[in-house]
Every structure is written in structure tokens, then in C-alpha cells.
Amino acid sequence: MKTLLRLAACTGFAMLTNSAWSADSPLPKPLRKFDADKDGKLTGDELIRARQAHNRGGREPEVREGQWKEILERRKKTWLQQQNGNLDLNKDGNLDDAEKERAEKIWGEIADGLGKLRWEILKKYDKNDDGDLNQTEREASRKESDERRAAIEKQAMESHRANAAKPA
């Protein structure tokens, strides 16, 4: 119990009385929503998210509805334009259905990697720990973010080329 009280104090939450504890979870009720694996402890990313929520005064992150989806759609459009020649396996100048399907599969892998990258960049560069990157934090992260995004895209395309070269 002492460890959990220290955990609550470390995350910046006020000390809670025993009445705030439940038989279901050793965590106080306000912290339970951050316990993703439901193990009764906040560790790693769970602790970071709880601390960020506290630093925002309990408010949800101020992200526009669908903002990440819009960012991914713009990046996908640019990526498709850049990779069109590499995706056109039969070199007829158009992507046929099979080539489009393969492009969607590759993009799915890239989008997954970009989602992970987004969280890693946020953890590293969110200096005010509010769960969002302000302009200064975004500028500081831009070089690493761009380099790692390019590496994710390059790795997916190299994997695609290797698979395309294999006989069916």
C-alpha cells in the first residue's frame, strides 16, 4: 500500500484516503483508467499518460477529431506519389488491382510504424509533459521525426521489393 501511495504522489496526484481504494484494484479510482493491462499498477507508458493527464488538469488531450487520420491520409498521398514507379511492378504506368492491394498492405505497415513513432517522439520531446507537442517541441523533434519516418517507409519498401522478387 505504501508503494501505491508513493506512486500516486509521484504522479502528482493528491494523497487519497483508504475510502478511495476499491477491492477490485489497488489503484485509486481516478488512476484506474490509465491501467491499460489491469494489473493494479501504473508502469511505463501508463504512468506517463497519467502524469500527462494530471499536467493537463485532468482534461483530455486537445486533439481535433480525426487529426491523426488526416495527417496519415496526407502522408499516404505523398508517399503514393513518391513511390508510384516502385509500386508499378509490371511497369505499365498504372497500378492494377493487385499492385494497389500491395500498396495498401505496405501503407498499413508504414502507418503502424508511424503510430509507434508518434508516441516515441511525444515521450521524448514533450518537455512540459502535457501529452501534446507545442510549436517549440515540434520544431525540436522535426529532424529526428523526419529521419525515422523516412527509415520506416524505406524499410517497408525494401521488404516489398524483396517479396516482389520472390517467385510466386
Residue 123 lies in a domain: yes
At residue 164, the pLDDT reads: 63
Query: Which residues lie below 8 Å from residue 120, measured CB to CB, with a gap of 6+?
Result: none
Structural domain span for residue 81: 67-165
Asked if 33 and 73 sit in the same domain, the reply is no
- Share of the chain residues as helix, strand and coil, in percent rounded to the nearest 5: 65, 0, 35
Asked if 30 and 109 sit in the same domain, the reply is no
Residue 61 lies in a domain: no
Identify which has the larger pLDDT, 152 or 128: 152
Asked if 132 and 94 sit in the same domain, the reply is yes
Residue-by-residue DSSP string for 30-65: HHHTT-TT-SS---THHHHHHHHHHHTTTPPP---T
**What pLDDT digit, counting tens, does each position of 63-107 carry?**
555 788 899 999 999 999 999 888 888 888 888 999 999 999 999
Answer whether residue 167 shows pLDDT above 50: yes
Residue 62 lies in a domain: no
Residue 60 lies in a domain: no
Asked if 13 and 93 sit in the same domain, the reply is no
